[in-house]
Structure 1
Amino acid sequence: MDIRRLQAFVKIIDLGSISRAADLLNIAQPALSQQLAALESTFRQKLVIRSKSGVTPTMAGVELYRHAQTISKQLDRAMTEIALGAGPLVGKVSVGLSPYSAGSTLAVDLLQRVRTSLPGVVLHLTESFDEIYSELIMTGRLDMAVIHGAGPIKGVLFTPLMKEDFFLLAPEALDFPQDSAGAVQLADIIEIPLLVPPRHNFVRQRIDMAFLRKQLVPNIVAEIEAVPTLQEAIAQGIGSTILPWSVASRIVVPGRSKIHPLRNPVIQEDVSLCIPETVPETEASVAVREHLVDLARAMATSRNWPGTQAT
């Protein structure tokens, strides 16, 4: 099996086009089509479906794509480690950090630790609303990710890190019933305008579930993914939102917005670290993972993070 054929197949699927992949790889399109045909002959399976709009993988193609990603990444790592020889840990480690979660809060601290203790490691950090991190883990495009939820998902191993309570972040001047501790009940905020992420986001899913269980209908007036936009919209009094403390505490604006605990019900979510089940970890990724777990558990036990508990 020629590794270059597998790498070319990955590029075809990534781009959804044989012609675009040929241009990017700087080879003739007929030659790339022949490589694809050779792969289909080797595996005795149709790997892609061609149409006027491009190509899409078949079920067999999806499976080969996953394995090809892993093989290619392992080869890149082997070449790097062999070329540099024995000595300090080296290589690239990719970490996905779920936006609107404690994971994104850990990014700078993790970067600082890696730069200090693992100078030969290039840390690749990503925060994406559109990517499904568990799929990126299984295909080898990420070494690990901090996500909400605790599985199970086939092909992914979960390590629980903490539980996060959600809080109401509202304009400072907004008036609604509160108890002596400043806590707010869900039933008392059904009329205030809410600014929330889209439905595919875990925060939105938890918000919707909490209102549904209480048979309440929230007043959602906008869906916002960009954290800076959300911060300014709340500060200007346009609406309120519901977030984990790790995010709410970063975007609260003193004198313009305020954080309130939520009660009846408490909205809570698990935060977990996930790694691939079948792809071996490199020494560098193990070292980064250990730093990430240490930082997360320190956060979970710190008094500076209300509503965050170790698991």
Structure 2
Amino acid sequence: MNLRRLKYFVKIVDIGSLTQAADVLYIAQPALSQQLATLEGEVRQQLLVRTKRGVTPTEAGKALYRHAQIILRQCEQAQSDMDAAGRGLSGQVSVGLAPGTAAATLGMPLLRTVRARHPGVLLYLNESYGTLLSELIMNGRMDMAVLYGDKKVHGLTFVPLLQEELFLVGPSSLPRPGESVRLEDLARTELFLPRPYNTVRKLVNEAFQRAGLAAPNVVAEIESAITLNAVVDGGLGMTILPSSMAREMVGAGTAWLSRIVEPGIEAPLALCQSDHLPLSEPAQAVKEILLELVGDLLGQAQSSDTAAQP
């Protein structure tokens, strides 16, 4: 196998069409087909199945696709590290930030700090849900991400950053329970929450189960932070959010929040990266900046809590 054929193969799988892949790669389709045939001959496996809609990978093709992504990414990192030798850091670094978490507040500080310290680094920020970000990291298509999670996952490692408390958030048109609300008092409350695979929803469901309560009374499932904000702002009902997103919503002046207690619920925010793919030098530098910014964020939160105490 050579790297050029691997690049061609990955592009074909990504696009799902030999014709379109040939256009993107600026080579003739017969030449691309010949490169694919040579690759299949080298590995002695059929890698793609041709259909009326295009091409799809076989099981062997899927396995090669996963490894090819990792191999090509490592080659890019090696080239980037060699290019950076003897001069300032440069290269591409991809960072995922889960929306609706404290991670979302790190975007601007991260951009400013990276630009100031390492102007040669091209930073790519991706705001997506944790499941997608973790998949990108496992596939070698993203360097790291800040998201909720602390459970061991094959192919990933999690560095704990901070714990975010969950709050009940409601519109000003509905009565506020008080500074805090007991979990059992939420048993009959109509809630707008994300779908069950969302980390916050999982934490809420698990808390209800441990407390011996029936499942939360969910009247609608909403993944979009913007739509959840609109639901509360429009007076439709209440939701449960991490402290960062809850305080941001309350800051608009149209909502209130109450800390969930007895028991409280906390969401673990962590830095996620591959457990087997090493970070490039630029990525390692960005990771250090991220950890530094999270430390500042944690210090600010502690100061706010201290100031809020009577």
After TM superposition, what 4+ stretches of structure 1 lie above 6 angstroms from structure 2? none
Residue type at the aligned position of 1:287 = A
Structure 1 residues 131, 187: closer, same or farther in 2, change over 3 A?
Answer: closer
Post-superposition shift, 1:234? 0.6
Counterpart of 1:16? 16
Check whether the contact 1:164–1:271 (CA below 8 A) recurs between aligned residues. yes
1:257 Cα shift? 0.1
Q: Does the 8 Å contact 1:80/1:91 carry over to 2?
A: yes
Give, in angstroms, the shift of residue 296 of structure 1: 1.5
Superposition deviation, residue 247 in structure 1: 1.6
Offset, 1:57: 2.8
Shift of 1:294: 1.6
Identity of aligned residues (%): 44
Q: Which has the higher helix share?
A: 2
The answer as to whether partners of 1:176 and 1:188 remain within 8 angstroms in 2 is: no
CA displacement at 1:191 relative to structure 2: 3.7
Q: TM-score, normalised by structure 2?
A: 0.88
Is contact 1:13–1:55 with CA below 8 Å preserved after alignment? yes
List per-residue Cα deviations over 1:109-131 (Å, max 9, x = no partner).
Answer: 11111111111111111011385
109-118 or 201-210, which moves further after superposition?
A: 201-210
Per the TM alignment, residue 30 of structure 1 is displaced from its structure 2 partner at its CA by 3.1
1:253, CA displacement in angstroms?
Answer: 4.1
**Aligned-partner Cα distance in 1 for 2:36–2:130:** 29
Q: Distance in 2 between matches of 1:106 and 1:255?
A: 23
Count of aligned positions: 304
Equivalent AA in structure 2 for residue 132 of structure 1:
L
Taking the aligned partners of 1:160 and 1:167, their CA distance within structure 2 comes to: 21
Please tell me whether residue 122 in structure 1 is matched to residue 119 in structure 2.
no
Aligned to 2:291: 293
CA distance in 2, matches of 1:131, 1:25: 30
Q: Of 210, 221, 224, which aligns to 2:222?
A: 224
Task: Give the secondary-structure state (helix, strand or coil) at the position aligned to 2:163.
Answer: strand
Q: Which residue of 1 aligns with 2:29?
A: 29
Decide whether aligned partners of structure 1 residues 218 and 32 sit closer, same or farther in structure 2, where only a CA change above 3 A counts: same
The verdict on how the C-alpha distance between 1:175 and 1:71 changes in structure 2, with shifts beyond 3 A counting, is: same
Residue of structure 1 in register with 2:162 after alignment: 162
Gaps in structure 2 of 5+ consecutive residues: none
Q: CA RMSD in A?
A: 2.4
Question: Which of 248, 251, 262 in structure 2 is aligned with 1:250?
Answer: 248
Instruction: Give the direction of change, closer, same or farther, for the CA distance of 1:92–1:157 in structure 2 (3 Å limit).
Output: same
Q: Does structure 2 conserve the Cα–Cα contact (< 8 Å) formed by 1:95 and 1:125?
A: yes
**Equivalent residue for 1:272, pick from 247, 260, 270:** 270
TM-score, normalised relative to structure 1: 0.88
Amino acid in the other structure paired with 1:86: G
Question: CA, structure 1 residues 120+81, in 2 after alignment: closer, same or farther (shift >3 Å)?
Answer: same
Which stretches in structure 1 are left out of the alignment for 5+ residues?
Answer: none
Is the deviation greater in 169-178 or in 116-125? 169-178
SS of equivalent to 2:100: coil
**1:206 matched to 2:231:** no
